[in-house]
Structure 1
Amino acid sequence: MRRVVITGQGTINALGVNVAQTLEAFREGRCGISELDIRDVDRLSIRIAGQVKDYDPEAAFNRQQISLYDRFTQFTLIAAREAIAQSGLLFSDDLASEAGVVLGTAGGGVNTWDENYRAVYEEGKNRVHPFVVPKLMNNAAASHVSMAHNLKGPSFTVATACASSNHAMGQAFQFVRSGLSKVMVTGGSESMLCFGGVKAWEGLRVMSKDGCRPFSANRNGMVQGEGAAVFVFEDYEHAKARGAEILAEVIGFSMTSDAADIVMPSKQGAARAISGAMRDARVNPDEVGYINAHGTGTAANDKTECAAVADAFGHHADKVMLSSTKSMHGHLIGGTGAVELLACIMALRDGIIAPTIGYEEPDPECALDVVPNTAREAEVSVALSNAFAFGGLNAVLALRKAP
């Protein structure tokens, strides 16, 4: 079994158009949730989101590319470009054949769906653009990343709702650890902030109209976000031989199914995934210093997640720091675990724990150290990243400080 390290990271989300801006926002506890700016927003009851504002696709892509790239694909390509540039890798010859891309998304080209449903049903048009299908398909982003960077190895997309990115990164980790690939580009993206995308989530009645306050007793729901984060996972010996900067080491992964309910989370399923990731990483609960929580701000998720952490960590649960950065960038659905991995890497590299902002009232059912409102300096050697999805699908990654 080979060791797996991260040698590049890239992102675009409501907090910033790159990693540096995002980490600065984490450190400052800045909120990227604001008024939603989309067509027909006045017909929505939910009018806030973690939206990427002032985004100009023409600054990053030409017109022909824009005709092929849904917004979620554009975000992915921007994040991948930053991650691969930081890694310093050029994919050619044997390395290109052994390198692949695994990305997560829940909805894929939701903006493209929305625009074309409008054209056909509302405007009465009888034709749509010939590239609508390749633009909206869930694997579009992975395919375009593979083409842009000559990645000819294992490449596919994972769609498991809010756990999509963690499942994708877990698969990438397994490919490199097993020796099947030397390098995998991985992460996830989502862009559901269009009229149909928000309206669909409204129907679930889990959305907040005023903000995301995970673990706070007065929380009243989740807030959608959008964006992408992409990472380069690399064989440690390969990275070491070429003198690459190592950001962190991926040391464990676990996935479980609740097999219980399509929307209600299970403490047992989540706890098994958390314990499984520690077991796979060969670390004990007392070695884990930080958990990036799924922390959606819904009553069902937050109390279930805290109970799962308490079960998995036992008497060490009150010593581990647990925070939800969704309070800042919103819930990126299939892309959320990828953006949240940035906070884990920051904790390990910089010794700074991103806070749970918007925390106002203690909740006895969430009586853990949720790092309320203000970032904290702390030495952390091992971190976990939780993702729990509709359908009862759970995925947890374990990371260690760079060797």
Structure 2
Amino acid sequence: MKIKYLSVAVLSAMVISGCNDNDTVDGSPGGGNPPVNPGPDIVFDVENTFWDLEATSATVAANSTATAIAYYFTSDNKNLKTFWVDGSESYYISSTYSISGKDTDPSSGTLTFSLDDTDNSCKFAVTDKQTLDLTECTNSNLDVTTYKATSEREEEFKQIPEKESDKDVVNADFEWDFSTLPGGQATTGGRDFSVRNDEHNPKEIVDGAKEFNGAVKITQSETKHGFYHLAVEGSGSDDLVFPDGTFSAELVFRVDNYLDYNQNLQLIDITDGNSTGWKLVIDRKTMLPEARVNDGSGKYTAVRAVTPIEIGKYMHVMLTVNSTETKIYVNGTLETKRALNFVPNKADGDTFYLAGGSTTIKNNLEGAIDNFALFEDVLSEEQVQARAELFGFKSN
């Protein structure tokens, strides 16, 4: 995702809101038997489709100046984009929704969403994946029959930006874009990632956690697995180094296929000459994100989240570290914290590995990367929540 530092504005309107890794963990919780790759949750016919409100002659959601022109319900993180036109300006507003219905009938059910901070719901029915009926809405102004957008209209909607907001979102000190191939280009900080084994591992642009065409999808080969890497020169000469051990790291990603349950999935691996680097993995037994901070003696402190990954669904992970404590957040919510009594990441000759690791044999990321960012400070809970919301995640 190419960050625009935009978030949701409050609009008084009729709007549906809607590696082979054998280290010994110091105090980390245990796991169980490796799970089977789960299938995705049911996707209802109302989801992942542009519903073109301008294709209907019925009265549609509007306020004093703006008129809603389309809905897009994203099944991945239950993010709803409502597209508006206000004079010569077009924009969308993001919000959340929930959906219920029968697994055996994805064409109908009930949508629950927010309307001006008031709960609302509509019955929906989709015919041939082409026609959407919203009926029995608690706000009758939302009742409508609308139609699937043409491919030309879809492309028009994908170019419409999000509505700007006055909500503060902290900017990263280093950030990398994954909305163009091969991915890993710096948008802040001026340090591009390189790609290893690019020719063996196909990549394509796919929708990100929130933004259309905002992520790079990686398909790993069976023999030469690919990853991103970035050399760091050391504490005396490189601005990517955080010699006081204070930093925050953000990753927005999804796993499409867990390739080898005999290994942890390495997402980020920061190695250095002092053995004081850190990494972010998916634990092979529990499917939980876990950060590991090395102390320089061959041991590490692990902080493990409580929310497991879901195959095919995006996740926002934020790690915050200083010399006394490390925390891990998932989708904007603080899940686990642990005390530290050493200065991590002294960083003498680091290498950053992304979507893989320095000791990975064949369990690199097969999935998509939306965003990677680093901060030269420990973000507060409010700042982490705001960053997660930037990508469409709502904290608990």
TM-score by length of 1: 0.30
Bigger Rg, structure 1 or 2: 2
**Structure with larger RCO (C-alpha < 8 A, sep 6+):** 1
| Greater strand content | 2
| Greater helix content | 1
